[in-house]
Amino acid sequence: MKILLVEDEKRLSYFIKKGLIEQGFAVDSAFDGEEGLYLAKEETYDVIILDVMLPKLSGIELCKKLRELKKETPVLMLTAKSEVDDKVEGLNSGADDYLTKPFVFAELKARINALLRRSYHQVTNNLTIDDLEVDPLKHIVKRNGKMIKLTPKEFAILELLLRQKNEVVTRTQVIEHVWDYNFESLSNVVDVFIGTLRKKIDKGYKVPLIHTLHGVGYMATDKKPQT
Ligand code: CA
């Protein structure tokens, strides 16, 4: 899943980005409101983390502009402790949730996950298909009760496929949601990742769950995929 982080405090931005990347997220960072607005308009993000106090354009103005442009990306606003009005104004400007600084990383992660769950219309935290279980918060993958170790990128691709299970996910969608802005999508890197993922998830099991639909994309399903 891909996140846009708009935060002008360099140390905090670095800390959040590092933590999110370790969790398998792709992260683009912007350090002022204008840069943030540009990226939010041009790129595809699953969640935008938006600081309120920003140079050039405030988080609240940025959020208002996005909503005026009918961009519905979930926004998590970061507010300072004393700024009670910011929370109200933030929510009124179209933000979906807010987090007060300073916060612990676990809470940020939980709130991002709640927003993802909402936008992909999921009721529970865990993503499941057949005997495969993925816990995006604890970063645990199990098939038939057995733990499977994945790299952050493999995990991110699996999470994306499971959030849209039984639906085709195109290669472009995988790149958009799993890699950041600097990624050059010229190679067959997605197919390589799908290949290793399939080995780890499906090898030794009767029902294959990760499918490649040639010329179309990929699908996680326990049925025979129809195209
Ligand atoms: Ca700030």
What is the distance between the alpha carbons of residues 74 and 71, in angstroms, rounded to a whole number?
A: 9
At 34, list the tokens.
């204008």
Structure tokens at 95: 């933000």
Domain positions in the chain: 2-119, 127-220
Q: How far is the CA of 208 from the centre of ligand 1 (A)?
A: 47
Query: What is the DSSP annotation of 39-97?
Result: HHHHS--SEEEEESS-SSS-HHHHHHHHHHTT----EEEEEETT-HHHHHHHHHTT-SE
Which amino acid does the sequence have at 84? Answer: V
Asked if residue 182 has pLDDT above 80, the reply is: no
At residue 225, the pLDDT reads 80
Partnered with residue 140 across adjacent β-strands are 135
Query: What local confidence, expressed as pLDDT, does residue 181 receive?
Result: 79
pLDDT at res. 186: 62
Q: What percent of the chain has pLDDT over 90?
A: 75
Asked whether the beta carbons of 17 and 28 are under 8 A apart, the reply is no
Q: What's the whole-number mean pLDDT along residues 204-224?
A: 94
Superfamily of structural domain 2-119: Response regulator (3.40.50.2300)
Q: Which range, 35-39, 100-104, 134-138, has the best average confidence (pLDDT)?
A: 35-39
What's the whole-model pTM score?
Answer: 0.87
Q: What would the two tokens of residue 76 be?
A: 């998590």
The residues, any chain, with a CB within 8 Å of residue 226's CB and separated by 6 or more, are none
Q: What are phi and psi of 203, to 5 degrees?
A: -60, 125
Ligand 1 centroid distance, CA of 7 (Å)? 6
The alpha carbon of 117 and the centre of ligand 1 are apart by a number of angstroms equal to 27
How far does residue 195's CA lie from ligand 1's centre (Å)? 42
Give pLDDT, residue 82.
66
180 pLDDT tier (thresholds 50, 70, 90): confident
More confident residue, 144 or 89: 144
In the reported structure, the alpha carbon of residue 10 is separated from the centroid of ligand 1 by a whole-number distance in angstroms of 9
75 CA → ligand 1 middle, Å: 16
Cα(70) to ligand 1 centroid in Å equals 25
Query: Bigger pLDDT: 182 or 27?
Result: 27
| pLDDT tens per residue across span 199-208 | 999 999 999 9
- From ligand 1's centre to the CA of 207, what distance in Å? 50
- Per-residue pLDDT, averaged over 186-196, amounts to 87
Q: At what angle do helices 59-68 and 84-92 cross, to 10 degrees?
A: 10
Within the chain, strands assigned E span 2-6, 26-30, 47-51, 75-80, 97-101, 127-129, 132-135, 140-143, 146-147, 210-213, 217-220
Report domain 127-220's class: mainly alpha
**DSSP tag of 191:** H
